Amino acid sequence: MQTDSSFTFVLFGGTGDLSMRKILPALYEAHRAGMLEASGKIIAVARHEEDRGGYLQWVNEHVKTHVSRNGVDENAWSSFVDRIEYVKLDLGKAEDFVKLRDAMQDLPGTRVFYLATGPSLFVPICRALASVGLNENARIVLEKPLGYDLRSSNAINDAVGEIFAEGQIYRIDHYLGKEPVQNLLALRFGNALFEPLWRREWVESIQITIAEELGVEARGDFYDNTGALRDMVQNHLLQLLSIVAMEPPHSMDSDSVRDEKLRVLRALKPIDPRDISKVAVRGQYHAGVIRGTSVPAYATEPGVKTDSATETFVALKVEIENWRWAGVPFFLRTGKRLADRVAEIVVNFRAVPHSALGSSALRPGANRLVIRLQPNETIRLYCLAKKPGEGMNLSSVHLDLAFDQFFKEGQMEAYQRLLLDVIHGRLALFVRRDEQEAAWKWVEPILNEWAASGKPKPYAAGTWGPAAASAMLAQHDTCWLEEEN
């Protein structure tokens, strides 16, 4: 379906890994589906000595391999690359931004500036754009991480906020664009079935996991100064938690949704530094085997200090101090070099108070909702049913919402949805500044305590992390989903 929104999309970091793997493939998919205004242009910006032809050759070599599972439609690809221009730009040279302004002079529509760069470049880029008048009729997209802690995050937000209004700033978290997260909102707020159960009286515990098989790859220098708590918990996991736990908004407009998420973040029970060892587990992977392949220890990865105390695994017990969720533990977990690549939300409902059908109806997890974000995007509801045959013997069964079976049209990837939202000016799936501040305030006591304490607990690559993460759940008579299976 064609839109009527003309735009110029300027991609800083146009030769970088994120641009090749995610942003340009997402724009291509939107183009192929007819979701981009025909007059819309893409200007890639980088400091490499390339002309347009050289850049398009680079795009052909590095973007096509990341395009959808259906492969490349050569006709659509040809018309897509016709949209792309290239501008060599040195951030230290004001005249280069004049060159960018001149390249955009006669291009119509909204200006979108996507900063697929390190956060240290966010402020210099924004100031340079303003110096040549490119901050008007514009939207700015900021990738994570936005700062190293609350103070540095506020410094970036303050500086960017002097140039762009809050309504022009799109702080992206791609997990919020995933189809199952959107369907979680639809299930809760579009049906009478789930919302009455979505509270402390009926929910025993909730788990949110983002697990990766990969290590730090070529990002050792960056990761060793960041760690899993900053890289994943402060943004992705707390954003997913706020979506799961939020109150029904009065509408789906951007501020209504984000107001409710903010209330959750502000209701998080503060972490007492004296209790951190009870509610927070940090780990670091050692050498191990993943799917038959030996992988090295984190401390031997390129760019990582040999005596590094950076965590590659975090598990947390989180509580929300409000009427809906008081007393319900939320268990958050993320890590690198784990046994599988999976992102999922598990809602464990309470067992029935009395069963005339045997003890299986009383076991924890007999009723649960599993929202799988990756690799296969599904929502699965588990319940008990009678086994065929003699006697009343119960067995666990599940009802599936498998999107590819119910909906014939292809699913939209998270970045595709979010980039279209930027172009159309929809802010609901982007993080507002006060949300970000609330998340940093909650995380900081953990960061400070870990900075002052010893090393993370070791775990072998290819496992599910330190045993302490399982012990933390055992204190609440529960376990991680894969341990039960």
Tokens describing residue 148: 């190293």
3-state secondary structure of 473: helix
Determine the Cα–Cα distance for residues 285 and 8; give it in Å rounded to an integer: 43
- Is 134 annotated among the ligand-binding residues? no
Determine the Cα–Cα distance for residues 313 and 283; give it in Å rounded to an integer: 5
DSSP 146-195: --SSHHHHHHHHHHHHTTS-GGGEEE--GGGGSHHHHHHHHHHHH-TTTG
- Is 419 annotated among the ligand-binding residues? no
Region for residue 103 given its phi and psi (left: phi exceeds 0; alpha: psi -120 to 50; beta: otherwise): alpha
Cβ–Cβ contacts within 10 Å for residue 103, how many? 18
- Is 178 annotated among the ligand-binding residues? yes
Of these residues, 31, 48, 66, 236, which one is catalytic?
A: 236
Tokens describing residue 466: 């330190």
- Is 483 annotated among the ligand-binding residues? no
DSSP 69-84: TT---HHHHHHHHTTE
- Is 250 annotated among the ligand-binding residues? no
- Is 336 annotated among the ligand-binding residues? yes
- Is 212 annotated among the ligand-binding residues? yes
Whether the Cβ atoms of residue 230 and residue 145 lie closer than 8 Å to each other: yes
Based on the residue annotation, tell me whether 250 is a catalytic residue of this protein.
Answer: no
Determine the Cα–Cα distance for residues 222 and 304; give it in Å rounded to an integer: 9
Cβ–Cβ contacts within 10 Å for residue 318, how many? 23
Determine the Cα–Cα distance for residues 335 and 311; give it in Å rounded to an integer: 9
Annotated binding site for substrate: 174, 178, 212, 231, 336
Annotated binding site: 47, 90-91, 144, 174, 178, 212, 231, 336
| Residues recognised as catalytic | 236
Annotated binding site for NADP(+): 47, 90-91, 144
